[in-house]
Structure 1
């Protein structure tokens, strides 16, 4: 091969290992697009960041719908973004991840916006709920913690104040122990002030009282186990403050701002009109209107938790989106572990039989793996099944009578870190069907509300949960292991070191009908003479 051919081959190989991508978030005040390259091994190299102001929040929070002029503006922004993506070689749907948060989520005509964007550009925008925002915050924080050992090993209170809401995560030694969303956003605060028609000299007092109610609710909600908290202020407003106070976030993953300096800057910003902020700092007008309320909220939070410094990272929700694109299957690894940690926390709250729950979860895991060729479900379903197994008896906290229905209600109306309402509905229904009736779209409203793929997944998972629960009918965990074979239309479970399986056979006879319907095999439980190999 000639030197020229060698060079061209090397260039082609390098290009093949670099995947250009774009992540877009439609926020309350602006639409932002981050261009990046994902390289071999998951390395992310940031390229350009594009941002266009748009009054989505003003429409949604005051009128509950988006004006046609705002929708048209968004379509034009996306059309421009689409041209830029094509220039960077971003032409496939799997190279783009676009999400919308509270302003779009709360608009009654949000589908009109999403359809218009798709028609004009082919880009599908996913409207994410509060749980997904928390999950993306956590994914972004993981990258920050990897670069800062103090954050990785200590207690971090991660707070993002957006235009429409405030997201709060308490992370202790890489575990999310508390997550919540509050309807306190910088734009909502501005709208509240305008609605009050308060004179300028009273504006800060009214705003402080409004903020302090939510700050106190956050302070009371954070578990008492949190010690020596580090407050991570994750927002564009605090990055603006850090830059004005001399921090260089271009060369460091985060800046530490002492509260005295931050308070002085916040006070000065609040006292400055939006017009002067635009002129002095070249801020977009919509951001200039809301930055003071955001900084005041962070200041009051810092004082409430008695921290000496604010940690301001350069990360944002877009970093979480990029990490999601890198991992693709976010259910593998730390996120899946966080979901199960949250499930165990909820199980303890409702005083479940821990040994039984763990046994059933372990048996479900084994059955899921053994029957992979038949059910062909994904890792996401494995985690949801595990959560359902852990929580299937939480309804006993209410009453043993119809406890499966109480379990469904408690799970569906709880918050498990990172899980969407759809995820919770699936877990709740799998738990509901661990006994008695099998899924029926004709009579079970909650089941019928799911799409077909989700209904099938619920039935497949519930079938496994019913078998696992039957194998621990006695609640003494005597079925520790089993070997699986398929014999002429039967799924045979050979259980070693157990002399009498009468109780388990009776339970399988009662609960095995759904398994036979979904997997096309009858169940046979057999005492094995030796342990499975």
Structure 2
């Protein structure tokens, strides 16, 4: 006769103590909509995701008006945790954290759920307050997204929405609002109608909640707004699928709402870019997001790389805390792919020097262009570990398919384009596909990186040439010291070849 999950796994703590997997960590988030498990391994000074498991539990749907959680909802949760428990057996107990959020905060009979859940998992579950959840979300964003400015962070959950302003790794304002995708689904879209009346009621209630914090948040201010939830990810996926860039705006959200209204009913909801998995709670998340944009006067928002699970994770990794996220990611890739660090830095320094000479005529700071150029220079030889001839293609493939904390998806695509085009033939198609930047900025950064690589080709600091670069419109002129090219015929040959490549791409380049 098979054992119950909690009986079969009750000795998981003893099994984990014998495990050699000391560098593997797991975080379980018992959310109001879904239960998530994140598993990572620390590799080369960064975290490598080795597993993600997500199950729709819709715990908040089982919470009645008296805040009592139904047995049916609890059973859905326990069944999910039995699946998670199997993956925890080989992980040291001290490397595991399990948290419960809004629904478990609210449920009066939460102890009934927790008692069985802890038996199944062989671990304690920490039910965190709304303020703690907001603080942890901010840490998750801070450790996966790059910004030195004040930023507004929004996380729309199943039963609560967290709104945070912070700078660097420090939160400044924290709020947890009583509204979420699942609770709004039950309250405003239970009839499956996608009507103006349903949307307007949902938006109006959300606006009431947001008005309690709006004045303080607007007075504090921010330079960057990021979303850390599935709702924001869904909106971004829709925009990109419909040929737009990744920046979410109020007008774009209202356009998406019109697309939803045109469908009429939930079962007929079909929007280009919207995944089947998110359809059910999509309208309620959209209504909340529209209300946030209206009440807080948000002009634009992008997607963060992390949230509550990542915040919990980094709390277990003190060696990775309070380090520049983008630099940490680049350094980790350099270690893992055996990049010649000294030469990469040489190319990066040359690229930055050229960019600074051109800055007065070419606006390269837009979209953090100079930072992206530097990172691309440091990673330009990423593909050499595979083979030389097409190493720029291999490097671009690795970047395109890697998890890169500190870079938005559009920034990651820009790094990929620069690495792909740093030598040999230029792929205009890859440049044209950039969504975050103008094609012009991508072209300018590509041209600078290509020249930096050529000028550093001797791989020795003492033979680096002194150069002056200038632009007239998009035409580039590179000047060397008198007689230098005559003394370095190979460099001259490389620059002549580069001149041909740039002419084929439609770019004017001369050197003297």
TM-score (norm 1): 0.51
The residue aligned with 2:226 is 232
The correspondence of residues 149-164 of structure 1 with structure 2, limited to 5 A, is: 151-152=147-148, 154-164=149-159
* Deviation of 1:129 (Å): 0.8
- Cα separation, partners in 2 of 1:173 and 1:55, compared to 1, 3 Å: closer
Q: Would the aligned equivalents of 1:17 and 1:39 in 2 still touch at CA under 8 Å?
A: no
- Cα separation, partners in 2 of 1:266 and 1:325, compared to 1, 3 Å: farther
- Cα RMSD after superposing both structures: 3.4
The residue aligned with 1:131 is 131
SS in 2 for 1:80: helix
* 2:178 pairs with 1:191: no
Unaligned segments of structure 1, at least 5 residues: 1-14, 249-253, 335-533
**C-alpha distance in 1 between matches for 2:47 and 2:320:** 17
The residue aligned with 1:309 is 300
**C-alpha distance in 1 between matches for 2:21 and 2:52:** 22
Q: Would the aligned equivalents of 1:32 and 1:49 in 2 still touch at CA under 8 Å?
A: yes
- Of 49, 61, 69 in structure 2, the residue corresponding to residue 66 of structure 1 is 69
The residue aligned with 1:474 is none
* Deviation of 1:65 (Å): 2.0
* 2:286 pairs with 1:283: no
Q: Deviations over 1:206-235 (max 9, x none)?
A: 2222122223333212152425x4222221
**C-alpha distance in 1 between matches for 2:240 and 2:192:** 36
**C-alpha distance in 1 between matches for 2:237 and 2:50:** 20
* Deviation of 1:241 (Å): 1.6
The residue aligned with 1:425 is none
The correspondence of residues 106-255 of structure 1 with structure 2, limited to 5 A, is: 106-145=106-145, 148=146, 151-152=147-148, 154-172=149-167, 174-193=169-188, 200-222=195-217, 224-226=219-221, 229-246=223-240, 255=246
SS in 2 for 1:78: helix
Q: Deviations over 1:341-382 (max 9, x none)?
A: xxxxxxxxxxxxxxxxxxxxxxxxxxxxxxxxxxxxxxxxxx
Q: Would the aligned equivalents of 1:60 and 1:103 in 2 still touch at CA under 8 Å?
A: yes
Structure number with the bigger relative contact order (C-alpha 8 A, sep ≥ 6) is: 2
SS in 2 for 1:289: coil
* Deviation of 1:299 (Å): 2.4
* Deviation of 1:203 (Å): 1.3
**C-alpha distance in 1 between matches for 2:316 and 2:171:** 21
- Cα separation, partners in 2 of 1:218 and 1:267, compared to 1, 3 Å: farther
* Deviation of 1:172 (Å): 4.0
* Deviation of 1:201 (Å): 4.6
**C-alpha distance in 2 between matches for 1:119 and 1:295:** 37
TM-score (norm 2): 0.53
**C-alpha distance in 2 between matches for 1:163 and 1:270:** 22
Q: May I ask how many residue pairs the two structures share in their alignment?
A: 302
* 2:47 pairs with 1:52: no
* Deviation of 1:25 (Å): 0.5
Q: Would the aligned equivalents of 1:259 and 1:310 in 2 still touch at CA under 8 Å?
A: no
Unaligned segments of structure 2, at least 5 residues: 1-18, 325-512
* Deviation of 1:125 (Å): 1.2
Q: Deviations over 1:246-289 (max 9, x none)?
A: 279xxxxx9533443343224323554332348984534xx533
Q: Would the aligned equivalents of 1:247 and 1:255 in 2 still touch at CA under 8 Å?
A: no
- Of 39, 42, 45 in structure 2, the residue corresponding to residue 38 of structure 1 is 42
SS in 2 for 1:124: coil
**C-alpha distance in 2 between matches for 1:270 and 1:47:** 39
**C-alpha distance in 1 between matches for 2:320 and 2:143:** 17
- Of 250, 267, 276 in structure 1, the residue corresponding to residue 258 of structure 2 is 267
**C-alpha distance in 1 between matches for 2:84 and 2:192:** 39
* Deviation of 1:60 (Å): 1.9
Using the TM superposition, name which of 266-275 and 302-311 deviates more.
266-275
Q: Deviations over 1:441-481 (max 9, x none)?
A: xxxxxxxxxxxxxxxxxxxxxxxxxxxxxxxxxxxxxxxxx
* Deviation of 1:114 (Å): 1.2
**C-alpha distance in 2 between matches for 1:198 and 1:274:** 6
The residue aligned with 2:93 is 93
The residue aligned with 1:496 is none
Q: Deviations over 1:24-71 (max 9, x none)?
A: 111111111112112464x21112211111131011254522222322
Q: Would the aligned equivalents of 1:31 and 1:52 in 2 still touch at CA under 8 Å?
A: yes
The correspondence of residues 381-420 of structure 1 with structure 2, limited to 5 A, is: none
* Deviation of 1:158 (Å): 0.9
